[in-house]
Structure 1
Amino acid sequence: MKKNRLLAKWLNNDLSEDELAEFKASPDFEKYQKIKNYTEHLKVADLDENVMLSNILKQEKVAPKVIPLYKNLMFRVAAVFVLALGITFALNSLVSTNQKANFGEKTTFSLPDNSEVVLNSGSEINYKKWNWDNNRRLELKGEAYFRVAKGRRFEVQTSLGKVSVLGTQFNVKARKNRFDVICYEGRVKVNYANTQILLTHGQGVSFENGKQINRQVSSLKPEWTENQICFYKENIRTLLDEVERQYNITIELNTKDTISLFTGKLPAKNLDIALQIISTTYHLEAKKVSENKIIFDEK
């Protein structure tokens, strides 16, 4: 601290004779003397305050960039809009799409590759649009008729079995413990439990409780698409379940005969005739207890 005080006084020539002698005796005096000798030859130009002010005023003023509030708001709205579009696209592409036909209705729709699907009453389909052309796979509950566009393998998965095709027309029905597949064009591969079957045009197969039933068909497409309910070796309870779906009604059955199998057709647009055919076939009496409820009793 004393050393710094002596240095300052030396630079200002304020040291007494004793202090000067003490300072010259310090080991750093020679270095300080060289620095002082060098700086004495340096000259600093006089400061012209008027010239400096003039130069400052001549400099070009750059106006700060101001973004109007309404433009800032527009940018935010646009960003939100783009984000919403992205979310919508992701939802539409990645989340499963559901198509459903309620009781008493039929629904026709197209898949992303323009394959056409007709859903029968009380049926539904789930599939994902994302990467559809490379993964044409859907899940079916109920019954549907497919007209498949050419492309990669097309798969229909049900709780009872799987159907695989390339490009063809076929019908699939999976109700309770019965699985039916009919090929109307091309070839269809059916997987049921440990059984694999290849169907071609006009061939069909049914599985019920593990039992296989082969059949031949002459129609060009499912009868139900033309308002005719077709049955092949099916019991009365299965028959009545289908009538309930087609007409959106409830049927109560009071009979001991639930084993006899029915093969034939019922109209899907004339309930009175359908009830008459069932009554005659099974020797039953149909009673309409309300607009939407029918009771079958033994005669």
Structure 2
Amino acid sequence: MTVKKNINNEEMWPGKLPDLDLSYRKSKEDVWRELSHAIDSKQTISPEINLFARMWRPIAASVIILLGMTLFGRFYTKEITSDVGQHITAVLPDGSKMILNAGSGVSYHPFWWRFDRKVELQGEAFFEVKKGKRFDVVSRNGITTVLGTSFNIYARNDHYQVTCYTGKVRVISLVNGHALNIIPGEQASLNSDGSFRLAKLKDSEEPVSWMNNMFVFTGTPLHLVFEEIERQYAVKIGFDPGIEYLYTGNFTRNQPVEQVLQMVCRPYGLDFEKTPKGYLIEKK
């Protein structure tokens, strides 16, 4: 026999939830008081440490600024470049003067000059150095060191040649460390093995004739002559590398470039042709 149990609606769905006490017994003043107490109870920084921190910050900032200025002065580099067909005269921070031949460039640190008088050179330049601390000119293959003098440096590719005009010049090979002192009227040229050969000049004005727009060559490989013409006239010259003649002669930059090419080419039975890209040298 099945017994049925009657469950009324009130048992399944009570008319109300149990009574809950949702009231908050603390006032906001009590909450704030307890929060303030908790903050005050935390460990505080001693006045001595706080004072040290305040003093250290400006000192550290000053050190950083000073270090930054020192590094800027040490490594800031000024560059001067003489384009093809151009000669430039420039004055260094101590009043020393340099004249750059065409297609040459120098760089130095102007803000560090009082501590280290050093110039890096690529190309050819004449220097008149004021007396003072050591003065160095660094090139690819050598270093020229003086105190106060005048000299000319030719440093292009593997060619390195220094001519002294006043004072005394010391040259140091960066190939093998060979060093040599030269005096006015002497010229040091770098050999292929890194050593220097010394020569006494019959005409000391010849190496610096370029400053007067005159170019003198004595037994100079022809490709070097063509390269000089390119620099002085801002033109391109194409030629067969197999042309290995030695040229002796001179020309001035006041002459037209085609006249100069004719003077240089004629003794060797060479001819030249003007093209859209420059001049082409070829055998007749």
TM-score, length basis structure 1? 0.64
* Aligned position for 2:90: 109
1:240 has 2:221 as partner: no
Any residues of structure 2 matched to 1:218-237 within 5 Å, and which?
218-219=204-205, 222-237=208-223
The alpha-carbon deviation at position 254 of structure 1 amounts to 3.1
Does structure 2 retain, via aligned residues, the 8 Å contact 1:152–1:166? yes
Any residues of structure 2 matched to 1:43-192 within 5 Å, and which?
94-192=75-173
State how far apart, in whole Å, the 1-side matches of 2:252 and 2:117 are.
34
The alpha-carbon deviation at position 92 of structure 1 amounts to 7.0
Question: 3-state SS of the aligned residue for 1:265?
Answer: strand
Please point out which of 254, 260, 264 is paired with 1:274.
Answer: 260
Does structure 1 retain, via aligned residues, the 8 Å contact 2:163–2:207? no
State how far apart, in whole Å, the 1-side matches of 2:241 and 2:116 are.
47
Question: 3-state SS of the aligned residue for 1:278?
Answer: helix
The alpha-carbon deviation at position 208 of structure 1 amounts to 4.5
Does structure 1 retain, via aligned residues, the 8 Å contact 2:220–2:246? yes
Assess, with a 3 A threshold, how the Cα gap between structure 1 residues 186 and 266 changes in structure 2: closer, same or farther: same
State how far apart, in whole Å, the 1-side matches of 2:182 and 2:262 are.
35
Does structure 2 retain, via aligned residues, the 8 Å contact 1:163–1:188? yes
The alpha-carbon deviation at position 228 of structure 1 amounts to 1.2
State how far apart, in whole Å, the 2-side matches of 1:286 and 1:257 are.
13
* Aligned position for 1:249: 235
The alpha-carbon deviation at position 234 of structure 1 amounts to 2.5
State how far apart, in whole Å, the 2-side matches of 1:232 and 1:180 are.
14
The alpha-carbon deviation at position 220 of structure 1 amounts to 8.3
Does structure 2 retain, via aligned residues, the 8 Å contact 1:255–1:298? no
Structure 1 residue runs without a partner (length 5+): 1-86
Number of corresponding residues: 211
* Aligned position for 1:293: 278
Runs of 4+ in 1 over 4 A off after TM superposition: 87-94
AA aligned to 2:154 is K
AA aligned to 1:257 is I
The alpha-carbon deviation at position 232 of structure 1 amounts to 4.0
State how far apart, in whole Å, the 2-side matches of 1:250 and 1:279 are.
16
State how far apart, in whole Å, the 1-side matches of 2:251 and 2:190 are.
22
Question: 3-state SS of the aligned residue for 1:254?
Answer: coil
Question: 3-state SS of the aligned residue for 1:266?
Answer: strand
Deviations 1:206-234 (A, max 9, x none): 22533754331432871111001233432
1:207 has 2:190 as partner: yes
Does structure 2 retain, via aligned residues, the 8 Å contact 1:187–1:201? yes
The alpha-carbon deviation at position 155 of structure 1 amounts to 0.4
Assess, with a 3 A threshold, how the Cα gap between structure 1 residues 248 and 241 changes in structure 2: closer, same or farther: same
Identical-residue share of aligned pairs (%):
29
State how far apart, in whole Å, the 2-side matches of 1:167 and 1:237 are.
35
State how far apart, in whole Å, the 1-side matches of 2:248 and 2:138 are.
27
State how far apart, in whole Å, the 1-side matches of 2:130 and 2:234 are.
32
Question: 3-state SS of the aligned residue for 1:134?
Answer: coil
AA aligned to 1:223 is S
Structure 2 residue runs without a partner (length 5+): 1-67
Assess, with a 3 A threshold, how the Cα gap between structure 1 residues 277 and 220 changes in structure 2: closer, same or farther: closer
* Aligned position for 2:270: 284
